[in-house]
Structure 1
Amino acid sequence: MVPVPLNPLRVFVVASRFPSFVEAAQKLHVTPGAISRQIKVLEAYLGVELYSSGANRKELTRLGQTYVDMLGPCIDEIENQNAKFLNNNKADSLRLACSNHFMRQWLLPRLGEFLDAHSAIEFSFDVMKPTSMADLRADVWIRYGLGDWPGYKSFSLMRSTLTPVCSPRYIASHGRPETPEALSEHVLLQSEFRPDDWTAWSKTAGIDLAPDARRVTFAGTYLAYQAALMGSGIALGRSHMMDHDLANGTLVELFPISTEVEAAFYLCIPTGMPEKPSIITFRKWIDRQVQSNPRSGVLGTLDHTQGM
């Protein structure tokens, strides 16, 4: 039997995780045409169609979806084992993945201290999508959720509290809401991944936002937050992510009312990966940073919530 073509297998699995070959090509650093050719090689080997015909935006066939469901975990395991091998032989490197919002609002303002204190560690970053860790390879993830991601050890960092914030520019243009009920007359900004945040806050405030209140939804918390900074509307700021902007006046906290949400930030490490010295160093550092911030909603000293 002719050996299975391995590179087309990986390309197929990666492409299946993006809505178009253009986006998959950016991830793989190739052209969309190269992805299409690799998938045609695999289709020829299998004798089946994996994708329906169309332009750049393609859809998996039924057999294609079945095949990727079978192959995806295998390809991920190969990638993980390869990462472990490389990481075990490069103890002074650290690759971190986190959301754009966490990196910009919490990590980057503090990162210089870590880099100055640990100049021997080779540090690199990935920005992860809120819904997936599968398409990245890292030593450590900072993830927002409930801490229950299969295949990862999760250590609790801090829990969020939410409160409405906006920029002075927005207040100058639209006026400041004097009561929580008045929020229904303003532009409310939100992330598509956190659609219930405004409902949770309004419940704590003891109000019902008008059903026709104008809500503008962004593809991520970071974009909603940046829109608030630019004066586009009112967002729900997270307690540990907006201290700098409140202190320098680029954001204004509208009401002394905050609500705690069940989700929290966790430090995550793939199960079975040895904790090389750089990981241990980073864990201790981020623990000190969290403990020193009274507004962080600390859950504990990196409480271990998942089995080793």
Structure 2
Amino acid sequence: MDRLKGKIAVITGGCAGIGLATVERFEAEGARVLVGDIDDAAGAALEARFPGTVAYRRCDVTDEPQIEALMAHAVDRFGGLDILFNNAGAGGSPQRLEEMTGEAWDRSQGLLLRSVALGMRYALPHMKARGGGAIVNTASIAGLQAGMGPIAYSVAKAGVIHLTKVAAAELARDGVRVNAICPGLILTNIFTPSETVPAGMAELIKQTMAQQAPDAQPIAKPGLPADIANAALFFASDESAFVTGVHMLVDGGMFVGPRQSWDPEMRAERTRMQEARRAAFEAGQAS
């Protein structure tokens, strides 16, 4: 407890999923938190749930003036800004490259990459006024390897990873650390956006994912928003005071190696195949 005592944080996309779990974690650790989101009802509920320590301000992170106003409101409401968690986002355009329009591409990059750069840009003056701060960006394993997400989303998240590194170098002597988290398969609404997936189907998809997720990576449990919130807490706290410019995979070990390196059934199958080949070879030699 109290790992963020006296700190003031802004969390974008804080009304659901990873953002909500991080709001809860930061508040429990002593931070005062300003949530930026576009779900006004959920934002009001958060304020009622955490009176005095959590505030809400509507912020569409594709709108630059709203980002600027969000950072300024943290100072007006709580007196400063120490931590920024650039977390707001969605799946972006699902289109393949041959179907992609410039408008769909720009919309995805604006939501997932441009918003992160502008969040940092408008947080910086307030952090410098406090002597420094910590910035945490939500990237993705999709930014590290093909096949983990749609092309526009994956390229944007790769951009977030590199932006994190370049910004960390630029801001280090200002006392501002910048790090990124690359979630793996985390059970959130990003896989079931309400604008395209009916509520009943969304619930069915979530249940199926929860059942199948333990088989998708070495650690046999579904990834949860709280797993990312714990990583965000580390980067936001003084425990990571000597860490900047890195991206942390929180993916249940999905990237440790090919499936045969950790799946006992695949290893057993490979052993059976090797033994069968050896037996066939020896039989041929004997004849």
The TM-score normalised by the length of structure 1 is 0.26
Greater fraction strand:
1
Higher relative contact order (CA 8 A, sep 6+): 1
TM score, norm. by length of structure 2: 0.27
Which protein is richer in helix relative to its size? 2
